[in-house]
Amino acid sequence: MHSNGMGTVSTTAGAALAAAVDALLCTTLSELPETSIVEMMREIETSERRLAVMWNRLIVQVEERSMPQQAGVRSAVRFLEDTLRISHIEAFSRFKAAQQLGTWHEVSGRELPPLLPHTAKAQEAGEISRDHARMIGKIYTRLPHGLSPELKAEAEQLMAEHSRIGSPDDLPTIGQGIFAYVDPDGSLTDDLDRARMRGISFGHVRADGMSRISGEMTPALRAMFEPVLAKLARPGMCNPDDPHSPFADTDHVSREVLDAAAKRDSRSAAQRNHDALLAFLRPEIGPGKLGSHRGVPVSAIFTMSIAELEDAAGVVTTASGGTVSIPEALKLAERSKPFLALFDHHGMPLHLGRSKRLANSYQRMALIASERGCTRPGCNAPATLSAAHHITEHSKGGPTDIENLTLACDACHALVHDGSGGWKTIVMGEDSEFPGRTGWIAPEHIDPTGTPKVNHRHHPGEMLAAAQARRLERKRREKVCRQGLLAHRAKPFPRS
């Protein structure tokens, strides 16, 4: 124990924390009701989030006191590895968090504000997790160097504001929206940097014959490669351990055969990607024999407006959920056949009907352009992993018209049924905030109100607008509080 008062306080606080953890571990959870279990989970999660702030402060002290050099190691990361017996990845992650969220000091002792002040504030309040903060930091460091400090600060605040109520998985989509907003024509983003970072590396062949692959893909390469994976890497496809697994062109394979192969498939997503790449490189398959996937050719699909086409500026969205700059997309599309889709002022496709049960390729491309992915709230499956779903089931008289079609991945599609715990889908009315969009109604045990909700994950502009609205509302509340405090201070002290 330190002899000075401050050391005693910190050591006592650490002992109190250890005692509180001991008390928690002695709790008999089986005797608690479900509501108490949920409440305890939330309380512990909030405490863990706030403890990350303490780690930032401790790591700042480690670095500023030159403790690694005193211990004979070359860096604070190595010091954390040795002192806490944690992995290099974990130590590096914690040090990076302290760099971005910690309060550092000049030689004079003057405090420097955190690089991500709004994120640091939200983490200290226990409102966001380490994953939130880590993702915000990654997106922030990729903002164009030519961006003004004011716009960078606004972008960080928007991401922090969204993270207070949203998932870390939403942040990459938010980041895409921010990049499209702050650098619509790519003039601030350095294409030479992207070209410099591109590359694929193969590691040494190990004793077991395996080798590691790593690298960075340009947006164009990813846009061209993902449709191949969407078809060849789906469950049941190209399985070397299953002699009845379909390969390549599945246009003439029945759905029953595909479903049966998927049920037998126990591979991980990474293993399916590996086997898909191997199948794609086989001479009897190749890009020319891939056929179609979910009704459209296996190829990159770019969605852009007439205005974007004329301006040749901004970014386009691919069917797999990625983005490509419009100049790059136009280069890739030089030999393609364009498809014109007309939408109303709400962004929904105009009428495109069909008498048959299955949606045709034109209807599917219209859905890709308007919805971009699975429409169930919270689902991030892109259009390449989604099928056309009848909002009102075809068996109940629902037509195969574009107004009655939506995109749903296989997992979410299976949730729609009339039984107990089933979800329902409707078309949002003209009086709603998102008319024409697909609204999903959760079962009663999830949402007793039965309020239909739309999915914003594939529409970064909507999430940005919501975050911006919350940011403005927070500023308004803070202003009201300051005005109220000033008015209170201005009141004369009451005399007895």
Q: What is the average pLDDT across 181-209? A: 69
- What pLDDT is recorded for position 388? 83
81 confidence band (pLDDT: 50, 70, 90): very high
- What pLDDT is recorded for position 341? 54
pTM higher than 0.75, yes or no?
no
Best-predicted range by mean pLDDT (278-287, 392-401, 485-494): 392-401
Is 46 a domain residue? yes
Is 27 a domain residue? no
- What pLDDT is recorded for position 299? 55
Q: Are 419 and 481 found together in one domain? A: no
- What pLDDT is recorded for position 2? 44
Is 10 a domain residue? no
Supply the range of the domain harboring residue 70: 33-115
Q: Are 236 and 261 found together in one domain? A: yes
Q: Are 264 and 163 found together in one domain? A: no
The domain boundary residue, chosen from 282, 306, 338 = 338
Is 80 a domain residue? yes
- What pLDDT is recorded for position 445? 82
Q: Are 397 and 366 found together in one domain? A: yes
- What pLDDT is recorded for position 352? 44
- What pLDDT is recorded for position 121? 96
Is 1 a domain residue? no
Q: What is the average pLDDT across 379-387? A: 83
Q: Are 242 and 302 found together in one domain? A: yes
Res 15 pLDDT > 70? yes
For residue range 359-377, what is the model confidence (pLDDT) as tens digits?
566 677 778 777 888 999 8
Q: What is the average pLDDT across 46-56? A: 95
Cα–Cα distances in angstroms (integers) from residue 449 to residues 353, 377, 446, 454, in the given order: 33, 16, 9, 15
Contact status, residue 49 vs residue 41, Cβ threshold 8 Å: no
Q: What is the CA radius of gyration of the chain?
A: 27
- What pLDDT is recorded for position 119? 96
Is 189 a domain residue? no
Is 330 a domain residue? yes
- What pLDDT is recorded for position 39? 92
Tally of structural domains, the chain: 4
Cβ-proximal residues to 263 (8 Å cutoff; 6+ apart), any chain:
236
Res 87 pLDDT > 70? yes
309 confidence band (pLDDT: 50, 70, 90): low
